[in-house]
Amino acid sequence: MAVTRQQKEEILKGLVDKFSKSKSVVFAEYKGIGVHPMSDLRRRLRKANAECKVGKKTLMRLAADEAKFKGLNDDMMKGTVAATFVYTEDFGAFKVLYMFSKENEKLKILGGVIGGKVVGFDEIKQLALVPSREESLARMMGSLLSPLSGFVRLLDAYKRKLEAGAPKAEPPAAPEAPVAAPAAA
- Rounded Cα distance between 112 and 114, Å, is 7
Task: Check: pTM over 0.75? Answer yes or no.
Answer: no
pLDDT in tens, 75-91: 777 778 899 999 988 88
7: pLDDT confidence band, cut at 50, 70 and 90? confident
Give residue 107's Cα distance to chain centre.
Answer: 19
pLDDT of residue 117: 87
Cα distances (Å, whole numbers) of residue 74 to 79, 111, 121, 123: 10, 10, 14, 18
Report the distance separating Cα 163 and Cα 183, nearest Å.
52
- Does 168 have pLDDT greater than 60? no
| Cβ–Cβ < 8 Å for 15, 53 | yes
Residue 171 has pLDDT above 60, yes or no: no
The Cα–Cα gap between 45 and 26 comes to 12
Round to whole Å and give the CA distance between 58 and 77: 9
Q: What does 113-154 look like in DSSP terms, one character per residue? A: EETTEEEEHHHHHHHHHSPPHHHHHHHHHHHHHHHHHHHHHH
* 16 or 183, higher pLDDT: 16
Neighbours of 114 (CB within 10 A): 19
* Residue-wise DSSP of 54-108: E--HHHHHHHHHHTT-----GGGG-SSEEEEEE-SSSSHHHHHHHHHHHH-TT-E
Instruction: Give the strands of the sheet with 50-54, arranged side by side.
Output: 50-54, 81-86, 24-29, 108-114, 117-120
Mean pLDDT over 15-24 rounds to: 90
Check residue 156 and give its pLDDT.
84
What is the mean pLDDT of the segment spanning 94-98? 93
Report how far residue 54's alpha carbon sits from residue 152's, in angstroms, rounded to the nearest whole number.
56
Domain 5-133 adopts which CATH fold? Alpha-Beta Plaits (3.30.70)
